[in-house]
Structure 1
Amino acid sequence: MLKWAIELGQFDLEYCPRTAIKGQELADFILEFDSEVDNKAIVLPEPSSQGSPPADEREELPQPWWILYVDGVVNNNRAGARIVLVTLKGHHLMSAIHFKIYVTNNDAEYEALINGLKISLEVGVVNLIARSDSELVVNQVNGGFQARGPRTEFYMRCAQRLLEKFGSARLEGVPREEIVR
């Protein structure tokens, strides 16, 4: 770090931290779809003499949907998980997990989902569509299949609790070819 400071010091550069992307993403989203609004503005009604309207009567800005792709992989040599969070502008935020312990394929799929949901919450995502190629995991979390065994049930409950923390979230099953790499 010091080496770079010395090298770049001669150019009189000044460090400016980047502001949060979330606010910029929302502003760009509203501007991008502004022409479809047909001259309607998102404006709160003027306060009357009785005060401001109750919170449930106020219009809220629509929250856009983010997409999360998760995939767990186990083979003879290693096990891991791939997580791709797609932002509103189509940027891919990628993360990978390497397991140093033995895990089953279903464990890897659940680990990918749970860690992807945690990342999404940390980024501040409100509405999320999570996509996985594991039919078993999708159906267990959505309530279509029963979880058998304490470990699988623990994973399922953890994923369900994380999904409840979003404003709106859903888990969809997709073919393996549709998982973003």
Structure 2
Amino acid sequence: MSSLNSPSDLSSAESISPAEQRNGRLSLLYIDESSNNRGLGEGVVLISLEGFVWEQALRLGWKASNNDAEYESLLAGLRSAEHFSAKQLLLFSDSQLVVNELTGVYETRDERMAMYADRARDLLKKFQSIRVEQIKRDRNSHADALACLGSSVDAKDTRKVWVEFVPEPNITSPVLCNNLDQAGWIRYLFF
């Protein structure tokens, strides 16, 4: 658990509820990356004070490392948070490197990672407060699913994906009526 310019009353990631989110005036930001043989993708989930959920699946169009992709997802998430006028952020990432470089626990030695960290810090200055927390992968499944989508789609075009809840099967069992006598059903046909 790490903080950057955070107020003392921010709740822990493990126990934050929607009411605490609203009372703490926090927007929640989850980021992740995914790589496979088709490419690299990023996932961003931003949850506003009002409960609005902004989801992004992004695909990187160049060869990059997993750490590059983690930072790219962070930058995309911070730009989205700024776009939606978030003031206080609780940022979740499962990347030990990104979290620890942002919070100063790790010294950024790689020149490319230093450029990413500097750009992220510039964006972080646009918020009143931010808290950065490393979470386990299983607590980042929403952003991970979007990152997997981004890494799997082989297209350069922007897409919109509609996710629909289907509460019951789209087929129904036929209703059989077997309590009519044989002559009775014929009567209904001719009237």
TM-score (norm 2): 0.60
Please name the residue that 1:41 is paired with.
Answer: none
Following the alignment from structure 1 to structure 2, what is the Cα–Cα distance between the partners of residues 63 and 144? 26
Amino acid in the other structure paired with 2:110: G
- The answer to whether the 8 Å contact 2:48/2:86 transfers is no
Following the alignment from structure 1 to structure 2, what is the Cα–Cα distance between the partners of residues 126 and 90? 15
Instruction: Give the alignment partner of residue 91 of structure 1, picking from 30, 34, 52.
Output: 52
1:105 and 2:62 correspond: no
1:75 and 2:36 correspond: yes
Q: CA deviation at 1:63?
A: 6.7
Aligned positions of 1:6-21 closer than 5 A: none
Cα RMSD after superposing both structures? 1.8
Gaps (5+ residues) in structure 2?
1-17, 143-191
Following the alignment from structure 1 to structure 2, what is the Cα–Cα distance between the partners of residues 123 and 97? 18
Following the alignment from structure 1 to structure 2, what is the Cα–Cα distance between the partners of residues 143 and 115? 21
Q: CA deviation at 1:88?
A: 2.2
Please name the residue that 1:150 is paired with.
Answer: 111
1:129 and 2:90 correspond: yes
1:128 is paired with a residue whose SS is strand
Q: CA deviation at 1:148?
A: 1.9
- The answer to whether the 8 Å contact 2:40/2:60 transfers is yes
Following the alignment from structure 1 to structure 2, what is the Cα–Cα distance between the partners of residues 151 and 175? 25
Report the identity percentage.
Answer: 34
Specify which structure has the bigger relative contact order, considering alpha-carbon pairs within 8 angstroms and separated by 6 or more residues.
2
1:130 is paired with a residue whose SS is strand
- The answer to whether the 8 Å contact 1:84/1:180 transfers is no
TM-score (norm 1): 0.63
- The answer to whether the 8 Å contact 1:132/1:179 transfers is yes
Please name the residue that 1:45 is paired with.
Answer: none
Alignment size in residue pairs: 122
Following the alignment from structure 1 to structure 2, what is the Cα–Cα distance between the partners of residues 92 and 178? 17
Following the alignment from structure 1 to structure 2, what is the Cα–Cα distance between the partners of residues 129 and 164? 14
Gaps (5+ residues) in structure 1?
1-31, 34-61
Q: CA deviation at 1:163?
A: 1.1
Amino acid in the other structure paired with 2:71: Y
The structure with the largest alpha-carbon Rg is: 2
- The answer to whether the 8 Å contact 2:39/2:60 transfers is yes
1:171 is paired with a residue whose SS is strand
